[in-house]
Amino acid sequence: ERERETNTTIAHVYRGTFVHSTPHTALQILEDALLGVDTEGKIAFIGKGEELNKLSQSCGFSPSEVIQLAQHEFFMPGMVDTHIHAPQYSYAGTALDLPLLQWLNTYTFPVESRFKDLEFARSVYTQVVKRTLRNGTTTACYFATIHTDASLLLGKITNDFGQRALVGKVCMDINNAVKHYKETSEESQEETCRFIAELLKKKYPLVKPVVTPRFALSCSADLLEQLGAIAKNNNLHIQSHISETIEEVNVVKKLFPDSESYTDVYLKHNLLTDKTVMAHGCHLTDEELALFRETGASLSHCPNSNISLCSGMLNVRNVLNHKVKLGLGTDVAGGYSASMLDAVRRTLDTSKVLTIQEPDYCTLSFEEVFRLATLGGSQALSMDDHTGNFEVGKDFDALRVNVAAPEGPIDLVQVDEPKILLEKFLNLGDDRNIVEVYVAGRKVVPFE
């Protein structure tokens, strides 16, 4: 067994099956395990069920307090959504009939411009945080809008509900489609600094700001440079989009003729760091992936969006072979589902389509995709030192899954081993199977 050396006391002890990933093993199953969570919400010990009496004495808890999981239940790490647009949740499931650049102008920018209305923002942001938490997203990396106060409100709502989050006020000083939905370069810099300062001042334990240039097409070179400097000076995360569609890649080439590639545009402006997460990357070259590897920047794979907007298909195997950090994202509302279970399924689908096209392709296994949705996402957001799997000293971010939940979507015919239960849940499950959600040891679902 492993134990954490601290002065904190044990708050909860769980006994049953735990499934998680390690950097070396895509799926590790711990049967009849004991896991203790301390009063700080960190994993205090992991041991075997048969060690109950010994552990209860050494760690100071009563065996009668142990919470026992049922036969069809298991704990898994919380899922990490590395790319989601909170304001776009208002029209999720619609407006998927245009390619990216036309889609932004026709649907996205007009909707996002409404978020200067704080009551509208509060309503949508409350819905999206509750929906993602119920669906097992314990960590979310959010794009908001250009509106500072509404973006701060998103930070408050994620904190109030107990979700771990990176929240970004969007920066864009170029927008020819919706005239009033953009900022001047100066406004964007000033408001980004105000957003960062005010969000940090709140001292939310799990919510942090992320510097968010929308993408190279909506930011001037001057703005990109300033945002790179702001991120560096404050040691902050950075998020943006890259190489989502061929059309976008070609326009970037015209706008930035001095840059060797789309990746080079971000690199030149100090926006490619080991705390950067870039969404999509469907059309990156091997040379560009090498730059991601060298800088430590990560990719967010958003398969629902890539298929829904006909953007392209990311070759995940190639990204992993380049040893680039990779997580999964829902990319609401380019992706129509806010559930990370959907991201898992579409990731598998995309990998299988690539196999159909190229029979020698090494298809992703469900175990590998499970890792991408949990530990991979934590790595992509540079949070894997304290989340992503079950290790002593890490925060307890976890889902209690009941595969046989009453009125749920899964019918069990026989007693299945945990690996089969996990596969069934990933392929067939939904929020009815996620009976409890924990973030940093605190039970956040069901809502109080």
Q: How far apart are CA 137 and CA 162, in angstroms?
A: 11
Q: How far apart are CA 407 and CA 128, in angstroms?
A: 24
Q: Taking 80 as the threshold, does the pLDDT of residue 2 lie above it?
A: no
Reference 375, options 23, 17, 2; nearest CA is 23
pLDDT tens-digit map of 402-440: 999 999 999 999 989 999 999 999 999 999 999 999 999
Reference 328, options 376, 270, 360, 276; nearest CA is 376
Enclosing H/E stretch for 288: helix 286-295
Which domains, and CATH codes, for the chain? Answer: 10-77+389-445 (2.30.40.10), 79-381 (3.20.20.140)
Q: Taking 70 as the threshold, does the pLDDT of residue 4 lie above it?
A: no
Q: How far apart are CA 346 and CA 66, in angstroms?
A: 37
Q: How far apart are CA 407 and CA 370, in angstroms?
A: 25
Q: Which residue has tokens 């509060």? A: 122
Reference 326, options 271, 368, 283, 359; nearest CA is 368
Q: Name residues whose C-beta falls within 8 Å of residue 152's C-beta, 6 or more positions apart in sequence.
A: 195, 198, 199
pLDDT tens-digit map of 245-290: 999 999 999 999 999 999 999 999 999 999 999 999 999 999 999 9
Q: How far apart are CA 335 and CA 303, in angstroms?
A: 8
Q: How far apart are CA 196 and CA 155, in angstroms?
A: 11
Q: How far apart are CA 281 and CA 299, in angstroms?
A: 7
Alpha helices in 118-260 (DSSP H): 118-134, 148-161, 185-201, 221-234, 246-255
Q: How many CB atoms lie within 10 A of CB 250?
A: 12
Does the predicted TM-score (pTM) go above 0.85?
A: yes
* The token pair that represents 126 in the structure block: 């409350």
Sign of CA dihedral 220, 221, 222, 227: positive
Q: What is the mean pLDDT of residues 27-42?
A: 98
pLDDT tens-digit map of 109-121: 999 999 999 999 9
Q: Taking 80 as the threshold, does the pLDDT of residue 1 lie above it?
A: no
Q: Taking 90 as the threshold, does the pLDDT of residue 448 lie above it?
A: no
Q: Is 45 helix (H, G, I), strand (E, B) or coil?
A: strand
**Percentage of the chain lying above the pLDDT 90 cut:** 97
Q: How many CB atoms lie within 10 A of CB 160?
A: 12
Per-residue confidence band for 6, with pLDDT thresholds at 50, 70 and 90: low
Q: What is the mean pLDDT of residues 178-200?
A: 97
Note the pLDDT of residue 404. 97
Q: How far apart are CA 355 and CA 74, in angstroms?
A: 32
Q: What is the mean pLDDT of the chain?
A: 97
What distance lies between CA 329 and its chain's CA centroid? Answer: 6
pLDDT tens-digit map of 17-27: 999 999 999 99
Contact 386/396 with Cβ under 8 angstroms?
no
Q: Is 415 helix (H, G, I), strand (E, B) or coil?
A: coil
Per-residue confidence band for 106, with pLDDT thresholds at 50, 70 and 90: very high
